[in-house]
Structure 1
Amino acid sequence: MIGVIDTRGDCAAWTFPADPGVVRTARTVVRRQLAAWGLDALEDVTALLVSELVTNSLRYAHGPIGVRLTHPEEAGSPLLVEVSDPVPDAPRERRAGPDEETGRGLQLVACTSCRWGTRRGRRGKTVWFELALPG
């Protein structure tokens, strides 16, 4: 892990090197932060989706990967999860064939989250998704 930006309050963010081992590390820090916020019910799905997006970043980007969680204070607001990398091109959602081993990550994000999208920044792109808080 390159560094933890902040894990206090309603936001937690980390930056990881473009190394295959960071997928496991990203899942671990996300699970720990959600547990610290009392959002244990979201640990599995959030860790899975973060894992998919970090894996996509590793496949196509060759620079640092950022992961950011924002826990809303307002009731009814969703958990916001962002994964950033230095490649400005937005990922494409595609339909993987039944025998293909890859190509389902964004489908999984789209089907599992409340909303998702991408945005360009000065230093690359961010893929984000929202998950409803347990009620």
Structure 2
Amino acid sequence: MATVSPSECETFPTWAYALQLPHDARAARVARVTLRAVLAGHGMSQLQETAELLASELVTNAYRYSDGPAALRLRGLGGDRLRVSVWDTNPHIPPPFDNRSQPLCPVPAEAAGGRGLFLVRHYAENWGGYPLGDDLFGRGGKLLWCEVGSEAAGQVAAA
């Protein structure tokens, strides 16, 4: 019998929650409610405004630009850091997530949309996306993610 202990470098335990979302206009609201509950349960309510905006934008993007289900994953990274990931069935990585080296350009004021992922890039401490290959169940698609922490807390309210 062997005893396994956590790594000494892990001062905060990590956790993860996953939520399956149907292709439904109400999915972003359900994701926000779930996010609030998770953050409150882990004593991370200071991240709520920023994380809620970013999760809502990612889920809304999944609903608007894919025709299948989506999934939200919330993962505590230790301390007061959170990773929000959204999977959807469309493999296309949209701008500005398709080129991390491009500077963040403003969206024209007269544009009807296109601000969501720019908001994610602006308010997230880190972000990214990648296409997923088809698996045995034919569920390729893409994963877009972002991270928020104490540095991002309150930025949305201040703006």
TM-score > 0.5, shorter chain as reference: yes
Question: Counterpart in 1 of 2:146?
Answer: 129
Residue 79 of structure 1: how far off its partner (Å): 1.3
Instruction: Give the one of 91, 97, 103 matched to 2:114.
Output: 103
1:1-135 to structure 2, matched below 5 A, reads 10-73=15-78, 75=79, 78-93=81-96, 95-122=106-133, 123-133=140-150
In structure 2, C-alpha distance between the alignment counterparts of 1:132 and 1:46, rounded to whole Å: 9
Structure whose CA Rg is larger: 2
Q: Per-residue CA shift, 1:54-78, capped at 9, x if unaligned?
A: 11111110111110011023x47x3
Q: Per-residue CA shift, 1:73-110, capped at 9, x if unaligned?
A: 3x47x311101101111011274211223111111011
Classify the secondary structure of the residue corresponding to 2:77.
coil
In structure 1, C-alpha distance between the alignment counterparts of 2:93 and 2:77, rounded to whole Å: 26
TM-score by length of 1: 0.85
In structure 2, C-alpha distance between the alignment counterparts of 1:43 and 1:101, rounded to whole Å: 27
Amino acid at match of 2:23: A
Runs of 4+ in 1 over 3 A off after TM superposition: none
Count how many residue pairs are aligned between Structure 1 and Structure 2. Answer: 125
Higher percent of residues as strand:
1
* CA RMSD of superposed structures (Å): 1.9
- CA gap of 1:45–1:111, structure 2 versus 1, over 3 A, is same
Amino acid at match of 1:124: G
Amino acid at match of 1:97: P
